[in-house]
Structure 1
Amino acid sequence: MTMLLPSVDEATAIEAREVSAWFGERKVLDRVSLHMPPSSVTALIGPSGCGKSTFLRILNRMHELVPGATLAGEVLLAGDDIYAPSWKLTDARRRIGMVFQKPNPFPAMSIYDNVTAGLKLTGTKVKAADRDDLVAGCLTKAGLWKEVRDRLRQPGGALSGGQQQRLCIARALAVRPQVLLMDEPCSALDPTSTRRIEETIEELSGEVTIVIVTHNMQQAARVSARCAFFLAEEGAPGVIVEAGPTRVVFDQPEDSRTADYVHGRFG
């Protein structure tokens, strides 16, 4: 079977430099800088309303689709600013994929066609002879192949919630991204499905740079190598209070607010 994903050597870091964001006049992020290393998982944690999901959407240019939304700063992929005029929006979406909180497969489209749906949208060319291998490889990477290999032509909407989320991961992988963004991918799932998604994240992390937003501290500790704690206090815009190796952030935080949050004393 041919697996059409980037090798570890091709995986690249993504970095935010002095990123600020607004919705109209309301500033929601203030000069956020964060390095997200290649071929590893970075978790974004913090209470609701502190700008984590906004930051995640800035990383693949979804923020600019919101009416009245603006931003300042840079987002670098392999040293190139994805907001530079030379970057097409489709380039950013192809190289930096997104998996949302709620599974969003195309319900009437087959499992097979769901996986390949992003190819046309992003202009990703795959020979017809290679598509079967691509679908099988992406479903395998998403931990779904054994469950659906005998019903690839059945509707994606017939799958369970956890299976639908893994199908969305397979769809994101089909365009061969270098970075995969995940916005609370397990929040609507049962514990068994959550475990399978976490296993998928662990398996993918050696090949794709992953950035995940999660409110589950145990999940952040399990899946991530690095962690960034976001906080917005008293109506102020969100900032990163502390970032570093996950074990250090959880076990030896430098800021008392980080310790209070990861140990459940607020948020």
Structure 2
Amino acid sequence: MTAVLPHPHPVPPAAHASIDAREVSAWFGERKVLDRVSLLMPGGSVTALIGPSGCGKSTFLRTLNRMHELIPGASLAGEVLLSGADIYDPARKLTDARKQIGMVFQKPNPFPAMSIYDNVVAGLKLTGLKATRTERDDLVEQCLAKAGLWVEVRDRLRQPGGALSGGQQQRLCIARSLAVRPKVLLMDEPCSALDPTSTRRIEQTIAELAHEVTIVIVTHNMQQAARVSQQCAFFLAEQGTPGVIVEAGPTTQIFGAPVDQRTADYVHGRFG
């Protein structure tokens, strides 16, 4: 039976969903890239994953919504719990995990020939949610507003998404992710291809969204991690060993009083 879209007018947010990775290890073929990584990402907050290139941050992020398993030869061990339920439970549908845990990629990827309007509602068809025209109209406005884009595009909703600037395209992708009402939003370096003005707008959007959706962001920008997150996890892979978390905790502690000298060296720019 096809699900019906809930009424799109604002409703009080449900209890924020936490995401809890327990002893997660990941492989590409024979090569182990993550070793027994455990991290609790609290609901209704922003967790930043930081560390040098090649330490497993993006791989870890992809394990959180079952995208890692799409890569040929990839495998995984451990558990990922969304509000206490394992997303890798064989009885759980893959589409449920993807609907509840959205992803925004490094490079904006709107459907270029599809209109701005149709880009936002594209996820409804993919997840089997039905909506009347009025509900879709309301949803498009609501999601574009949450992504900080409504004022800029409300008079050209029927123009192609690919005609927007890079920063606008990234915010359109955020709006598209929000349309299916995810509990968690994963972001893989969402600002790395953007100019400073667009980056600032995306960061404002992250701050506004964190009140209603749990956000996990991979970033190489230490200033950005310090600005947008409440919690940080520092990943490191040393001398060919798999990636591990060296230290995790409140962002103020990771940047102000880290326990491990390697964390202090990284956040202060002495390596990486």
Distance in 2 (alpha carbons) for counterparts of 1:61 and 1:122: 16
Match of 2:214 among 209, 218, 225: 209
Q: Is 2:82 the partner of 1:74?
A: no
Deviation at 1:4, TM superposition (A): 5.3
Match of 2:46 among 41, 59, 62: 41
> Structure 2 counterpart of 1:75, which letter?
V
Residue number in structure 2 paired with 1:114: 119
Distance in 2 (alpha carbons) for counterparts of 1:176 and 1:146: 21
After superposition, the Cα gap between the structure-2 partners of 1:4 and 1:210, relative to the gap in structure 1 and judged at 3 Å, is farther
The number of aligned residues is 266
With normalisation by structure 2, the TM-score equals 0.96
Residue number in structure 1 paired with 2:253: 248
Match of 1:200 among 177, 200, 205: 205
Q: Secondary structure of the equivalent of 1:9?
A: coil
Deviation at 1:124, TM superposition (A): 2.7
| 8 A contact 2:50–2:220 mirrored in 1 | yes
Residue number in structure 1 paired with 2:106: 101
Q: Secondary structure of the equivalent of 2:162?
A: helix
Distance in 1 (alpha carbons) for counterparts of 2:99 and 2:107: 20
Q: Is 2:189 the partner of 1:184?
A: yes
Task: String of CA shifts for 1:216-262, please: whole Å, max 9, x gaps.
Answer: 00000000000000000000000000000000011100000000000
Q: Secondary structure of the equivalent of 1:192?
A: helix
| 8 A contact 1:14–1:36 mirrored in 2 | yes
RMSD: 1.1
Structure 1: gaps spanning 5 or more residues: none
Residue number in structure 2 paired with 1:260: 265
Deviation at 1:7, TM superposition (A): 4.0
Deviation at 1:69, TM superposition (A): 0.2
| 8 A contact 1:20–1:30 mirrored in 2 | yes
Distance in 2 (alpha carbons) for counterparts of 1:200 and 1:7: 19
Deviation at 1:122, TM superposition (A): 1.7
Q: Is 2:231 the partner of 1:226?
A: yes
How many percent identity over aligned positions? 80
With normalisation by structure 1, the TM-score equals 0.98
Residue number in structure 1 paired with 2:24: 19
| 8 A contact 2:234–2:245 mirrored in 1 | yes
| 8 A contact 1:4–1:176 mirrored in 2 | no
Task: String of CA shifts for 1:88-109, please: whole Å, max 9, x gaps.
Answer: 1110110000000000000000
> Structure 2 counterpart of 1:139, which letter?
L
Deviation at 1:3, TM superposition (A): 5.0
Distance in 1 (alpha carbons) for counterparts of 2:183 and 2:52: 28
| 8 A contact 1:6–1:178 mirrored in 2 | no
Q: Secondary structure of the equivalent of 2:203?
A: helix
Task: String of CA shifts for 1:54-85, please: whole Å, max 9, x gaps.
Answer: 00000000000000000000000010000001
Deviation at 1:86, TM superposition (A): 1.4
After superposition, the Cα gap between the structure-2 partners of 1:7 and 1:64, relative to the gap in structure 1 and judged at 3 Å, is farther
Residue number in structure 2 paired with 1:90: 95
**Greater Cα shift, 222-231 or 127-136:** 127-136
> Structure 1 counterpart of 2:36, which letter?
R
